[in-house]
Amino acid sequence: MTTRSLATGLALCASFVIAPAGSYGQSPALTPFDKLPDWSGTWAMTGGTVFDRATQTGKGGSIDPGVREHPPYNAVYEKKYAEHLKLRDEDRYPDVQTNCGVPSGFPRILNLPDAYEFVVRPDVFYIIAENGGNTMRVYTDGRKLPGKEDTWGTYTGVSVGHWEGDTLVWETVGLKGDRDNDSILDRTGLVISDEAKITTRMRKIDAQTLEAQMAIEDPKALTKTWNVTKQFKKGKPGLFLYDYGCAENNRNPVDPATGQTHTLGSDGKLIK
Amino acid sequence: MKSTFKTSVAALVVAVGIQPALAHHSSAGFSEGTKVVSGTVKEFQFRNPHSWIQVNVTDETGKVTEWSVEWGSPNQLGRDGIRPSTFPAGTQITIKLRPDLTGHPIGIFVGAKMADGKIVGKWSDE
């Protein structure tokens, strides 16, 4: 080995040794694992998939005629919601997820059936919803929210958070909302806009219950802050979660022209 | 041992009366009332996003109609004790369902009574 090649090798080694320590090491400001709350296990949302049960009118699920919710919509969005409710009552307001292609988005990711895992780490918090499947990331590594010019509207937006004792507090921006008519909060037809900003406070209120309080601000759609609370009960120990291939056996395609949901037979042919 | 397991599963299902929501599409096109059909299980599709029980129903003229009966996701049903073997092909079954409002042979699963009297799901008059 020549002196030159030895020097090159040493320089390469030095770069590998130094880079992880300088670029990838855990920040001492992060809350360490042993100081974080235990949200392990599986969880399931309580109640039906009506997004805001506190303002619900009528009994039943989000697809039942007569059931509606009362967000503090302005006139434009109240009119839009009324139109969605009318289509829902005519069975012509298909769930945007029925064609198996888009995420549930936020805040709907906290309004899903099936099971959840909430993964707490020093640098990031993950919401893993079996239904969908859907994933959301909340960065808790001290970074700031990006500026408006650095967000472009996605289903779950971007979120950063911090811990206040055992409560995780995070802010979410950069949501696409109803911009493309493919993101809803539930099947009553609730939507928010691409200007929404949501502050969520999530904590364990007892050993078996997690609670998420969401304060939704949306100058384009709401006249005041809309507060919604969702709760999740812990599952029995040892339960398994599974993948959820929406397109695996989707026998309910939607007709884009009419909004009607079809049904295919076991042979793949149209029944209705 | 296997039959003991199946009995336990059936008992569990009866006890909790599981009625998983249709998580993937609206059920607005289905009646709130129920209908009962009896026939032979053709196939139990234990796959996402919804499970389907295919049942061949023969009428008094001998005409066979295949019913498609929709249930919850296999993920949730599996945690509640349902298995792909819960409805074996060829089994005689009586199913209570919420029928499609337009009269097609489609329904949302409410409950089932097996030939040996076991109940799966909800059978409210039991």
Decide: A111 and A45 in contact? Cβ < 8 Å: yes
Contacts of A245 in chain B (CB under 8 A): 47-49
Residue A63: its pLDDT value, please?
Answer: 86
Strand-pair partners of A234 = A43
Question: Domain extents for chain A?
Answer: 33-234
pLDDT at A29: 74
- At residue B9, does pLDDT exceed 90? no
Model-level ipTM above the cut of 0.90: no
Minimal-distance CA residue of chain A relative to B78: A240
Query: Is A251's CB within 8 Å of B43's CB?
Result: no
- The stretches in chain A having pLDDT less than 70 are 1-28
Per-residue CA distances from A125 to A158, A171, A208, B11, B83 (Å): 12, 13, 19, 39, 33
Chain segment A219-231, per-residue pLDDT in tens: 999 999 999 999 9
Query: For chain B, which residues lie within 8 Å of any Cβ of chain A, measuring from their own Cβ?
Result: 20-21, 23-29, 42-43, 45, 47-50, 52, 54, 66, 68, 73-76, 78-79, 100, 102, 104-106
Provide the token pair at A268: 């793949």
User: What DSSP designation does A141 have?
Assistant: S
User: Where are the extended beta strands (E) located within chain A?
Assistant: 43-45, 116-120, 124-129, 134-139, 158-164, 167-173, 197-206, 209-217, 226-234
A215: amino acid identity, one letter: A
Q: Taking Cα atoms as reference points, which of A143, A240, A38 lies closest to residue B78? A: A240
Task: Walk me through the domains of chain B, giving residue ranges and CATH numbers.
Answer: 2-121 (2.40.50.140)
pLDDT of residue A260: 86
According to the model, what pLDDT value does residue B38 have?
Answer: 98
For the segment B91-119, the average pLDDT, to the nearest whole number, is 95
Residues of A in contact with B68 (CB under 8 A): 251, 263, 265-266, 271
Q: A185 with A191: CB under 8 angstroms?
A: yes
Q: For residue range B20-74, what is the model confidence (pLDDT) as tens digits?
A: 556 566 667 888 899 999 999 999 999 999 999 999 999 999 999 999 999 999 9
Judge residue A142's burial from the number of C-beta atoms within 10 Å of its C-beta, 0-12 exposed, 13-18 middle, 19 or more buried: exposed
Cβ distance A112 to A97 under 8 Å? no
- What average pLDDT does the structure give for chain B? 84
Residue B84 clears pLDDT 70, i.e. is over it: yes
Give CATH superfamily name and number for A33-234: Calycin beta-barrel core domain (2.40.128.20)
How confident is the model over A51-68, as pLDDT tens digits? 999 999 998 888 888 899
Rounded to the nearest angstrom, the minimum Cα separation between B68 and chain A is 7
- Considering only CB atoms, which chain A residues are within 8 Å of B87? none
